[in-house]
Amino acid sequence: MAPTSPRIRVRRLVLADLAAAQAIERESFDEGWSATAFESELRHNGAARYVLLERAAAHRWEAVGFAGLWLQYDEAHVVTVAVLPHERRNGYGRILVHALVTVAAAYSMTAATLEVRASNTAARALYSGYGFWEVGERKQYYRDPPEDGVIMTTEALASERYRGRMARLGTSLRERFGDAATPSAAGMGFDV
Ligand SMILES: CC(C)(COP(=O)(O)OP(=O)(O)OC[C@H]1O[C@@H](n2cnc3c(N)ncnc32)[C@H](O)[C@@H]1OP(=O)(O)O)[C@@H](O)C(=O)NCCC(=O)NCCS
């Protein structure tokens, strides 16, 4: 591990992490979940799987980002990825997307898909690094401000090419952050 890399951990986001996730969300999106809606999502949406990324601080772990997906039939739908504004461009977004794809593959999802604001160049670049291709758009999909959504999807997660991509991306994350950057789904706390 590079000596300057902070110690991190990636784990399943649980109800006790609600406040931490909401603090990140408030700083990341103009429109976000209300506390009640997010709590209900965690309690009642059996298709939802969320991950939390924490960094070691003096004697405790600090949440720096979180991400989530829905298991929709055989396809994973990425719902959110967010990193605290002052922690961005440190590779944490990649760790979170890597974790989501790992979870999706562990639940035998064939592919992963998402919508993103057309103007969100940061997220589009992050997703494209993880093999999400732009396959279409949804006109005026977003409100406040109104904007088109870009639909992005991966090729088959089980394909040799995609698994090769994940292996290369995983190696680069481990070189930078150590093994903790790429836990298995079970290692994150999912019952797979
Ligand atoms: C999108 C987001 C999660 C990226 O998180 P991050 O921790 O900054 O991402 P990383 O540092 O891992 O960056 C990975 C790659 O994404 C791309 N990227 C990230 N931020 C970028 C920016 N501001 N401009 C252009 N490309 C960017 C780059 O390709 C980057 O690789 P590089 O640093 O080697 O150039 C973060 O900007 C965020 O939380 N935004 C607000 C919430 C949001 O819009 N979420 C996505 C929609 S659900």
Q: pLDDT (tens digit, 9 = 90+) per residue, 58-109? A: 999 999 999 999 999 999 999 999 999 999 999 999 999 999 999 999 999 9
Calculate the average pLDDT of the chain: 95
Q: Give pLDDT, residue 100.
A: 98
Q: Give pLDDT, residue 169.
A: 98
Answer yes or no: CATH 3.60.20.10 is held by domain 8-179: no
Give the atom of ligand 1 at the shortest distance from the alpha carbon of 80.
48
Tell me if 90 CB under 6 Å of ligand 1: yes
Instruction: Give one DSSP letter per residue of 62-121, joined into a string.
Output: EEEEEEEEEEETTEEEEEEEEE-GGGTTSSHHHHHHHHHHHHHHHTT-SEEEEEEETT-H
Q: Give pLDDT, residue 30.
A: 81
Strand 133-142 and strand 147-153: the pairing is: antiparallel
Q: Which among 55, 70, 89 is the best mutation to test ligand 1's pocket, defined by most ligand atoms within 8 Å of the CB?
A: 89
Q: Residue whose CA is closest, atom 4 of ligand 1?
A: 93
Question: Is the pLDDT confidence value at 126 over 80?
Answer: yes
Amino acid symbol at 53: L
pTM: 0.96
Q: Residue 3: which pLDDT band, with cuts at 50, 70 and 90?
A: very low
**Separation CA 176–CA 47 (nearest Å):** 32
Q: Residue 144: which pLDDT band, with cuts at 50, 70 and 90?
A: confident
Q: Which among 51, 53, 83, 101 is the best mutation to test ligand 1's pocket, defined by most ligand atoms within 8 Å of the CB?
A: 83
Cβ atoms of 181 and 97 within 8 Å: the answer is no
Which residues pair with residue 53 across a beta bridge?
10, 65
Poorest-pLDDT segment among 21-30, 130-139, 149-158? 21-30
